[in-house]
Amino acid sequence: MVDYTAFDSAQALEYVKNQTNFFAPEAELTCYEFGDGNLNLVFRVHDEQSNSVILKQALPYARCVGESWPLTLERARIEASVLVRHGEVCPQTTVKVLHRNDALAITVLEDLGHMQILRAQLCEGHTYTNLATDVADYLAKTSFYHSDFYLPPAQKKALVTEFTNPELCAITEDLFFDDPYRYSERNNYPDELQPQVTALQNNQAVKLAVAELKAKFLSCAQSLLHGDVHTGSIFVDQTNTKLIDPEFGFFGPIGFDLGSFIGNLLLNYCAQHKRITELPKRRDLHAYLLNTIQTCVAQFEQTWLHLAKTQSQDLSLQAEGYAERFINQVLRDAYGFCGTELIRRTIGLAHVADIEDIENPVARLEVQKQALLLGEQLILQAPHCNTKEDLSQLLISLLL
């Protein structure tokens, strides 16, 4: 087995040239690193005709912090394996794995450079008609086909072991469920937000509801999640949607991925109050974001229930009303997790460009306050909603 070494551009190029056959032996290749995520190296290797592949390599530490935050290379294996599994049930919406080398923590991926990262596009006010249904399809199928409702019991349990991802899950446990609700050196927010943060950290009802969500995240191995469905992990164009970067994948509560996605749309919603000054344009974008959330939730529910009725051997789903009861709980969880995403992206370690790029600090502060309040109310009130219609009404009332 080859010993791990972190690549530079020359080594990435040599690897693609000598260890894969994507390019003809005589091709003149060029390579550069352009990763902008928090954790890994991302190289593009291309020839003179602009044929290209992406080589992603995990570092033995978190890129955004440096060697003082060591991190397992196992995350490359997890990421490639989740992509393969999710790609089997959702080939249209999952980036293709072309080659992998777990010892070197390398995954070679199809190059999606002809598409755009959703976060940047939403920040610029672009909209995508298929986004809601594509993401709903991905979330419903990946979650149903990796759940106990579909997999034979022994296979499901073996997969839970294969996808145990303790180090990456610990990051989520800290950043989503612990840090924002206590003093932590990792927290990051302006002094002016301190009164609201202190109130949040003293709010026992919020802490109780977050404790419930954390318990679910820790011990509810419902299905194989992507684990980090934010708008920076989604490539889009007007016809396609592709999910990348599931290195936080593990068997967890189904609502977590849907909640993370909705949370990122809502962060953008809050930011648009200050990003777009023309009222009609802002109204249109707000309407688009709200509609995307509602359509995604409704489509997710519909597809999931259809799969539950047509693809499951599990006797429990034959109990009248059980599938509906199950999915209603998933949706409540999703809105709760969504609230934790809003809060951790506002006052925790990892922020989002939607808010950070607002230049005027006063305007940015207003957005941060709104995101915090929205997150808090979703966490508190979602558990009391019965259906997706109630959840949608709750959201509308909070956005007014």
Ligand X SMILES: CSC[C@H]1O[C@H](OP(=O)(O)O)[C@H](O)[C@@H]1O
Nearest CA among 380, 370, 300 for reference residue 336: 380
In the complex with ligand ADP, the residue whose CB is nearer, 95 or 334, is 95
Shortest reach from residue 58's CB to ligand ADP, in Å: 8
- Of 144 and 261, the one with the shorter C-beta distance to ligand X is 261
* Pair 81, 206: CB distance under 8 Å: no
Dist. CA 19–CA 188, nearest whole Å = 43
Q: CB under 5 to 8 A by kind: which of ligand ADP, ligand X, none does 259 bind?
A: none
- Shortest gap between Cβ of 46 and ligand X (angstroms)? 23
Give backbone dihedrals phi and psi of 21, rounded to 5 degrees, phi first. -125, 40
With CB atoms as reference, the residue minimizing the distance to ligand X is 38
> Which residue sits closest to ligand ADP, CB atoms considered?
37
Please say which residue, 180 or 232, places its beta carbon nearer to ligand ADP: 232
- Using CB under 6 A, list all residues that contact ligand ADP: 35-40, 42, 54, 95, 109-113, 117, 232-233, 244-245, 247
Q: Note the residues at the interface with ligand X (CB under 6 A).
A: 37-39, 62, 64, 171, 175, 228, 230, 232-233, 245, 349-350
Rg over CA atoms, the chain? 21
Task: Write out the binding residues for ATP.
Answer: 40, 56, 110-112, 245-247
Which residues are part of a known binding site? Answer: 40, 56, 110-112, 228, 245-247, 344
Binding partner of 95, given ligand ADP, ligand X, none, CB within 5-8 angstroms per partner class: ligand ADP
Structural contact between residues 378 and 397, judged by C-beta atoms closer than 8 angstroms? no
Q: Judged by CB, which is closer to ligand X: 249, or 303?
A: 249
Q: Considering the complex, what minimum distance in angstroms separates the CB of residue 267 from ligand ADP?
A: 17
Strand 61-62 versus strand 66-70 pairing type: antiparallel
Q: Which does 244 bind (CB under 5 to 8 A by kind): ligand ADP, ligand X, none?
A: ligand ADP
Of 232 and 339, nearer to ligand X (C-beta) is 232
Which residues are documented as binding site for substrate? Answer: 228, 344
